[in-house]
Every structure is written in C-alpha cells, then in structure tokens.
Amino acid sequence: MTTRRTAILGALLMAIGPISMAIYTPAMPELVKAFGTTEAAIKISLALYFAGFALAQLVSGPASDAFGRKVASLVFLSIYLVGGLIAVFAPSVEFLLAARLIQGIGVSVGMTVARAIVRDQFIGSEASSILNLIGIMLAIGPAIGPTMGGLSLAAFGWHSVFWLMVGFGVISVVAVVFFLRETTVPDRKLIRPSNLVRAYAELLRNKRFLFAAMIMAGSVGALYAQATMLSFILINEVGLTPTGFGLSMLMQSGAYFSGSVALRFLVKILGDRHSAILGLCCSGIGGTLMILSVFFLEPSFITIMGPVAVATFGIALITPYIVTAAMAPFPHIAGSASAMMGFIQMSSGFIAGVVASLIGSPLLAFGTVIPFMEFMAIAGYIGFASFTRKTA
C-alpha cells in the first residue's frame, strides 16, 4: 500500500481503542446514576475494557500473523460491534461490564495491526515518519471523542454514546473490507501454542525490546490510566459539566496533535533519537507539575490539564522512534511484537487504574500514580540507551 493509505488505515485502526474510551469517559458519572451503582463499579467497567484490550492483543497479534492482517481485523472488529450493541441495550450494570470487556477484546486488533502493517512495508526513519503521520491523524479522533460523547450525552442520553461506538465500528469494518490490502504472507503455524510461546519468549529475552516497552508502558500507559481519573476530577472536583469535560479534553488531544506536527520539523534538526529524548524531558516535567499542582494548589482546569498537556506533547515525540526501534529486529513476527508491546503498554494502564481505584481519591491518584509512570518511562530510556550503546 502507499504511504498515505497505510497511514490513514493505520490511524483509523489505532484510533478505535482511544476513541471508544474518549467517547465513554464523559458518560461515566451519568452511568453511576443511570444504573444506580457506585463510582467504583463504573471505574471497573473501564478497567475491564483495559484488561480485554491488553490480554486479547496476545491473541489478535499472532492471529494477524497466522491468518493475515485483513481477516484478523474483520473478526475482532465484529467482536467489538457485538460488545457495542450489548452496551446499548444493557439492562443492568453487570451487562455493561460484560459489554466493555467484549469491546476491549475487539479493539485489541487495531493497535497490533496498525503497527504491523507499517513494519511489514517500511523500516527505519521511513517507518518512524509514517508512525508520526499516524500520530497526527490519530490525535483528531480522541480530540473530538470526549466532545462528541459529552454533546451526545447531553442531547440524547447515555445510550447514544454507545451508538456512536457502533457507528465507528461499522466505518472501520467498511474501510478494512475495501481499502486494506494484505501486507504479510499468512502462516497458520504461527498460531500454534508452541510457536506462540517461542515467539513471545524471543521478545521477552530481548532487552532492547523490553526497555522500549517500558518506555511505552510509562508514557502512553499514563494516558490510559489518567482516563480513569480525569472525568471524576474535572466534573466532581473542578465542577465542569459532562459537555464541558468533553470540550476540556481538547487540550490533551491538541497537545498530542501539536507534538506530532512539531516532530516533523524537530526530526530534521535533532534526529529521531534526540527528538524522543526531548519528549521524555517534557513527560518528566509534566509529571513533576502534576505533583506540585495536586499537593500545593486548589484543583482547577489549568492546574490539572496544564501538566497533562505538557506530558502529552512529549508522548507524541517519543512514540514513533521507540516503536520503530523496538519492532525492527522482528519482521518475522511483527504481529506478535506489536501485540506484546501493546500488552505491556495496556497492562501498565490497567494496573495503574486499579491502583488509582484502591487509593480512592481520583485527585490523589492523579498526583502520585501518573507522575510515577512518567518517571518510569525515563528510567526505561536510560536502560534502552545503555543497552543500545553496548550492542552497537
């Protein structure tokens, strides 16, 4: 496929997971009332979504190696649609929890296949450039997701939030059917349990891969983790309406978009690696500002979203170089490599979300858990750089 088609399809597939979370978050406080349940139960629905997303990648990635990127995408997107329809007609919070788990399983294919189709066709700086382009387009979906969710919630109620997800799923299926060309030679032997174990063992023995995954777990994982906190902080602590919360999330997505656009210029001056280092500096500064804002300032839109924007800008600079470097040695198992990286990344977000629930206070969790993850990403890069120098 052409660079443009690869980037557009990659962005569409990669966006389905974040959009399904972004559209959902403004409705979380309303769902507490609609189902007569607790905040903890609704937070569990997001945790289950993360769990399904993370664990299913370990199957969807190898499935795309074994049966092809197109077939795997269609199967898992169909699962996502089923989950969306269950959520629309959920008669109780238990059905909602099951629906979110099923949706998480379905969206797992997006991230794995998006990265794999890039690795199938491109390497090095060209692959990084395409992932950066995907990042620019990817920012649009999550940017409008909370706004769409908030407006839809205000106008039509919580059911409409899940209808939006069903609609996005249908669009994704149509795009895969008509525009995704197969980029790998399917090998069904790769889905055998013994071969799966062998592939994942190869990845987990590779220190370069593990350090890169640690960087992604700390930086991108923080984005997923803070989604379990921000709606409750900005709506309950700061006093925004669900619609206002949706609009406020434009600051986060706008920061990611700005970082992705800036990277296209920075990489010409600094190169891929130094641009990633600059991104890690931004993430560290953002994490530090979160600690200071939570413990020393009254919560407001600026004190919460300002540090988030700084850290998110940095994540856009980090991702293309780190993903490309991590997957470069594994062209023979690109789907599995993408899956394992996604699993580690999402598991980090899931575990952090659980820890945040145990802490109880979303504001306190935001000021402790998220900075820890940002600093973990920096530690991961120190290990990554050290290992790379030794093996150069």
What are the structure tokens assigned to 307, written together? 């540090």
Task: Let me know how many helices (H) and strands (E) the chain has, helices first.
Answer: 15, 0
Predicted local confidence at residue 142, as pLDDT: 58
Q: Of 346, 65, 328, which Cα lies nearest the Cα of 208?
A: 328
Predicted local confidence at residue 138, as pLDDT: 61
Residue 370 has pLDDT above 70, yes or no: yes
Distances (CA, A) of 150 to 84, 271, 364: 18, 39, 25
In Å, how far from its chain's centre is CA 198? 26
Residue 387 has pLDDT above 90, yes or no: no
d(CA 65, CA 90): 35
Predicted local confidence at residue 275, as pLDDT: 92
d(CA 40, CA 250): 26
Residue 359 has pLDDT above 90, yes or no: no
Average pLDDT over residues 359-387: 91
Distances (CA, A) of 288 to 213, 285, 338, 385: 22, 5, 30, 23
Residues 135, 256 contacting (CB under 8 angstroms): yes
* Block residue for tokens 């007569």: 36
pLDDT band at 276 (very low <50, low <70, confident <90, very high): very high
Average pLDDT over all residues of the chain: 85
pLDDT band at 7 (very low <50, low <70, confident <90, very high): confident
What are the structure tokens assigned to 4, written together? 């443009």
Read off the pLDDT of residues 140-151 as tens digits, 9 standing for 90 and up.
Answer: 665 566 667 777
pLDDT band at 313 (very low <50, low <70, confident <90, very high): very high
- Taking phi over 0 as left and psi of -120 to 50 as alpha, with beta for the rest, 185 belongs to beta
What are the structure tokens assigned to 151, written together? 């407006």
Q: Of 194, 367, 382, 139, which Cα lies nearest the Cα of 276?
A: 382
Residue 181 has pLDDT above 80, yes or no: yes
Predicted local confidence at residue 146, as pLDDT: 67
d(CA 337, CA 333): 6
d(CA 309, CA 297): 17
Q: Of 333, 14, 361, 34, which Cα lies nearest the Cα of 198?
A: 333
Kindly list the structural domains of the chain, giving each domain's residue range(s) and its CATH number in brackets, ordered by start: 3-391 (1.20.1250.20)
Read off the pLDDT of residues 184-236 as tens digits, 9 standing for 90 and up.
Answer: 888 888 788 888 888 888 888 888 899 999 999 998 888 878 877 887 888 88
Residue 110 has pLDDT above 90, yes or no: no
pLDDT band at 121 (very low <50, low <70, confident <90, very high): confident
Q: Of 180, 163, 178, which Cα lies nearest the Cα of 81?
A: 163
Percent of the chain with pLDDT over 70: 95
